[in-house]
Amino acid sequence: MNLTLIAQYATDIIALLMLLGLLTKENLLNLHSKRFFKYSIFLTIIIIIAELGSLAVDNQGSSLKPLNQMFNIVGFSLTPLIPLMLIELFSQNVLKKHKFVFIPSILNAIAVLLSPWFGWIYKINIDNQYERGSLFIIFVVVYIINILVLSHIVWLSGRKRFFPIKWKILGLSLFTIVGTCIQLILPEVISSWHVVTLALFLLFILLSVFENSFDALTGLFNRLAFEKATSTLSYKKPYTIILIDINHFKKTNDEHGHDTGDLALKEIAEVIKNSISYELNGYRIGGDEFSLILETRDEIIISDYLNTIKCGLDERRKNNKMLPTISIGYSIHNGKKSLSFQDVYREADKHMYEDKKEQKKDIKH
């Protein structure tokens, strides 16, 4: 067997073991995402070992034919499951709720298990030599279907939580499809598992950087993410900055304790998250300050969002009388005047404090 090929596969396995170590120490991903990411890595390592084993015993005498069969069964059965495991990184419990997504993989596994007799997915001839089976296309189609299902889930979840990196993850999916298809089209080019190993590493880096953009308490994007987002805003395009400030937050902390204050922050953040769509991102930019960025100047749309937030808080206040009120201000950049972001932000801040003063007047009266 080619020593260069062994070295390449060994490098992939070592890299994946290193990734497993990084993932174990990493605290940014939640436990559920970590678990399924680990499943993907373990599956990849097992499949690489199986492919390496198959290459090692292939054409090495009929006595090793059962071993060759076993290695091919493991590789062809498990490969389509990797994209399915990765789905859980983007939308938890999808596999549990929608078990039908396993149907193509199950059909593929059945075809693989029957291949030693019927030669559907692969054939091992009397000389213990591997060949592609008459229905090898089933394996290819199932694998691509599962990657497309993963891409679809990324697209859907990207409309909310993963919106900022949606296209990067979809690009990574395309890279994986193209990279693995090279070996499917040209069997002599051993590229699939190098591509998958690289893709898993890139996905880990992408998710780690992304998860570092969130505020730990509220789950909204943090100040750093806000600054990155605002740095990309163009004065040539319309956008709206909405600022939200919690009224009497210091008083809430002083009189009822910081646990009550933290709970208020979480509840208000939850209302904001439930109110926003893929067009809008929510940020915690200070202790009791939040911001929303909306890529529109349509006042009807803006008003709808603000009313949704206010109604959501009113509803929660029925069950939590200590939940503070909020003050809101916004500023619209119409994309025509060459205003800086700071100008737009200052105007929103001014309107927010005007709202705060108006609420104080209403309380006095």
For domain 223-364, the question of CATH label 3.40.190.10 is answered with: no
CA distance 101 to 199: 22
| This model's pTM is above 0.75 | yes
Spatial contact of 290 and 284, defined as CB atoms under 8 Å apart: yes
- Given a cut of 60, whether residue 277 has pLDDT beyond it is yes
CATH of 3-211 among 1.20.1070, 1.10.101, 2.40.160, 1.20.950: 1.20.1070
Q: What is the pLDDT of residues 303-313, one digit of tens each?
A: 998 999 999 99
pLDDT at 174: 87
Average pLDDT over residues 74-100: 92
Encoding tokens for residue 166? 């949606």
Which segments of the chain belong to CATH 3.30.70.270? 223-364
pLDDT at 233: 85
| DSSP state letter for 336 | S
Q: What is the pLDDT of residues 239-254, one digit of tens each?
A: 999 999 999 899 889 8
- DSSP for 80-109 reads THHHHHHHHHHSTTHHHH-GGGGHHHHHHH
Residue % of the chain over a pLDDT of 90: 59
CA distance 245 to 263: 15
Residue with tokens 């090929």: 5
Which segments of the chain belong to CATH 1.20.1070? 3-211
Q: What is the pLDDT of residues 8-26, one digit of tens each?
A: 999 999 999 999 999 988 7
Encoding tokens for residue 146? 């599962």
